[in-house]
C-alpha cells in the first residue's frame, strides 16, 4: 500500500485463502477494493458467500467476462471456441499449441514437449482441449477492470505449497513482485501452509463459504477440468463426481454437453 499509494486491490475468489487474505488486509485498510471474478460457472455457494461478505461491508466489485465488443464469454462459448480446460494447464497448452500451430516447426516442438514431459497426453491430441479458458473468463477481464479502476498492484492469496510452479516462482521472486514483470503482485500468504489457513479461520472465527462443509477442498469453477486426476488420487473422488452428489442440476448440464469428451479422455465423472 505504501509503494503504490494505496492504489491496490485484493483479487478475491470467495475461497478460503482469499477470505483469510481479505481478513488480514482489511485489518489495515477496511475499505480496500476487492475484485471478484464472476466467471459464470461459479458454485452457487460461492456467489452467495461473496454477497454475504459484501453485506458485511467488504468493498467487492464483481468482474464479468465481457469481450471488447460487449458480448459475454460463457464457459460453453470458451470451450466451443478454444477448447476444454482439461488435465493441467501445461498439458492443455501443449495440446492447443499442437492443434493450432501456424508452422510445422511449432507443431513439432509441441509434440516433442508433450512426448518428453507428458507422454500419456499424446493420446488426446485429437480432442478439443485448451488452456485459454482462464485468460478469457478471468485474467483478461480482471486486468481490464484493474486498469479502469487505476490500480497498480494486485494482492493475491496464493500459497507456494500449492504447486511446484508456485514454489519455484516464490523462491525466484519472493512475496512481492514489484516493477519486475508486466503486472505488480503482492503475495503475502506465499509461505503459509493450508494448515495455517485453517488455523487462522478457526482462531479468528472467519466465516467461509458453505462449499467447504460439502467436502470441497477448493472453490473455483464447477466445470473446470484442471487437476482432476490429482484430486482422485488424494481424496478418492474428483470434483465432477462430487458435483453429481451436491449439485445434480449443474452436473446434468455439464454431462449433457461434454460427457463424450470426458469419456474419450478417460476422465471419471
CB closer to ligand SF4 out of 32 and 129:
129
Q: How far is the CB of 249 from ligand SF4 (least distance, A)?
A: 18
**The C-alpha cell that represents 69 in the structure block:** 465488443
224 binds ligand SF4 (CB under 6 A): yes
Q: How far is the CB of 223 from ligand SF4 (least distance, A)?
A: 6
Return the residue of 10, 60, 221, 265 that touches ligand SF4, per CB under 6 A. 221
**The C-alpha cell that represents 34 in the structure block:** 476487492
d(CA 192, CA 157): 10
CA distances for 179 relative to 14, 183, 185, angstroms: 28, 8, 9
d(CA 45, CA 14): 9
Return the residue of 91, 137, 254, 267 that touches ligand SF4, per CB under 6 A. 137
d(CA 58, CA 26): 8
**The C-alpha cell that represents 49 in the structure block:** 458467500
133 binds ligand SF4 (CB under 6 A): yes
Residues 79-118 within binding reach of ligand SF4 (CB under 6 A)? 85
**The C-alpha cell that represents 191 in the structure block:** 509461505
**The C-alpha cell that represents 44 in the structure block:** 452457487
d(CA 9, CA 113): 37
Residues 162-201 within binding reach of ligand SF4 (CB under 6 A)? none
CB closer to ligand SF4 out of 133 and 145:
133
**The C-alpha cell that represents 115 in the structure block:** 512426448
CB closer to ligand SF4 out of 32 and 261:
261
d(CA 162, CA 203): 22
35 binds ligand SF4 (CB under 6 A): no
CB closer to ligand SF4 out of 208 and 228:
228
Sign of CA dihedral 73, 165, 234, 208: negative
39 binds ligand SF4 (CB under 6 A): yes
- CB proximity list for 174: less than 8 A, separation 6 or greater: 190
CB closer to ligand SF4 out of 157 and 220:
220
Quick check: 73 and 66 in contact, CB under 8 A?
Answer: yes
14 binds ligand SF4 (CB under 6 A): no
138 binds ligand SF4 (CB under 6 A): yes
User: How many residues belong to the site for ligand SF4 (CB under 6 A)?
Assistant: 10
Q: Which stretch binds ligand SF4 (CB under 6 A): 16-24, 132-140, 142-150, 198-206?
A: 132-140
The residue ranges that bind ligand SF4 (CB under 6 A) are 39, 85, 133-134, 137-138, 220-221, 224, 226
Amino acid at each position: 500500500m505504501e509503494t503504490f499509494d494505496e492504489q491496490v486491490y485484493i483479487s478475491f475468489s470467495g475461497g478460503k485463502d482469499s477470505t483469510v487474505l481479505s481478513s488480514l488486509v482489511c485489518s489495515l485498510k477496511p475499505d480496500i477494493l476487492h475484485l471478484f471474478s464472476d466467471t459464470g460457472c461459479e458454485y452457487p455457494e460461492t456467489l452467495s458467500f461473496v454477497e454475504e461478505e459484501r453485506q458485511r461491508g467488504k468493498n467487492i466489485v464483481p468482474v464479468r467476462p465481457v469481450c471488447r465488443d460487449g458480448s459475454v464469454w460463457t464457459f460453453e462459448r470458451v470451450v466451443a471456441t478454444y477448447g476444454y480446460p482439461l488435465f493441467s494447464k501445461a498439458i492443455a497448452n501443449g495440446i492447443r499449441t499442437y492443434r493450432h500451430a501456424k508452422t510445422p516447426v511449432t507443431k513439432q516442438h509441441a509434440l516433442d514437449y508433450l512426448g518428453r514431459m507428458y507422454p500419456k497426453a499424446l493420446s488426446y491430441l485429437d480432442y478439443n482441449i485448451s488452456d485459454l479458458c482462464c485468460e478469457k473468463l478471468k485474467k483478461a477481464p480482471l486486468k481490464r477492470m484493474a486498469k479502469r479502476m487505476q490500480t497498480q498492484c494486485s494482492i493475491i492469496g496464493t500459497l507456494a505449497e500449492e504447486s511446484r510452479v508456485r514454489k519455484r516462482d516464490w523462491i525466484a521472486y519472493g512475496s512481492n513482485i514489484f516493477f519486475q514483470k508486466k503486472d505488480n503482485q503482492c503475495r503475502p500468504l506465499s509461505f503459509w501452509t493450508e494448515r495455517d489457513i485453517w488455523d487462522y479461520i478457526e482462531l479468528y472465527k472467519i466465516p467461509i463459504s458453505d462449499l467447504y462443509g460439502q467436502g470441497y477442498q477448493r472453490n473455483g469453477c464447477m466445470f473446470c477440468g484442471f487437476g482432476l486426476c490429482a484430486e482422485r488420487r488424494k481424496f478418492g473422488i474428483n470434483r465432477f463426481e462430487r458435483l453429481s452428489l451436491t449439485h445434480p442440476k449443474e452436473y446434468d448440464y455439464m454431462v449433457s454437453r461434454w460427457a463424450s469428451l470426458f469419456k474419450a479422455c478417460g476422465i471419471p465423472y
